[in-house]
Amino acid sequence: MELHLIRRTRWGFTLVELMIVVVILSILAGIVISSYTRYTKRSKTAEAVGNIRAIYQGQMTYSQRSIELGTGQRFASAATYTPDNNPGSSKYPARPTLWTNDPQWTAIGFSLDQPHYYAYASYTSGSGEGAYFYSRAIGDLDGDDNESTFSITGTVINGEIQRDPMIVTRELE
């Protein structure tokens, strides 16, 4: 009697192999998602950095004009946040007239005509030596009521405006 061995060809994967693949893909997905979230938040913070710098430049220009004209007021004060409400994680809608109808923002030469994530203010104090302005942006990128802030200060020292480094608190909150 002859014995024939039947050879079976194995097609497919075992359950263990499939589970290993699922675990590896889950780990990779977790890394990619957290990296993407961080990347998108970081790109949104570029708005605040650029706008705070623009407000600083506007205050410098205002200061030079006020010296030339002898107005006595060294900086323009836009002391209340514009806009004054918190949209959470969504953008503020574009409302250019909110900026252009405010004489203080017009004096600084700053306005936004695109939707934006941050609200802005620029406080001032004094008019001579030691006068300063403090410009600030606040935003809540993920709607959790933890605000990220960006601020910059310019102070008159020996007749020149000295800029402090930008202070960033909870950049990606």
- Average pLDDT on 113-139 reads 90
Sign of CA dihedral 58, 60, 65, 70: positive
173 has pLDDT over 80: no
The predicted model gives 105-123 an average pLDDT of 92
Confidence of residue 71 (pLDDT cuts 50, 70, 90): confident
Kindly indicate the confidence band of residue 69, based on its pLDDT and cuts at 50, 70 and 90: confident
Give residue for tokens 């000295």: 162
- Expressed in percent and rounded to 5, the helix, strand and coil fractions of the chain are 40, 25, 40
C-alpha to C-alpha distance for 37 and 32, rounded to whole angstroms: 9
Q: What is the pLDDT of residue 9?
A: 65
Q: Do 135 and 92 contact (CB within 8 A), yes or no? A: no
- Segments making up each domain of the chain, as ranges: 15-169
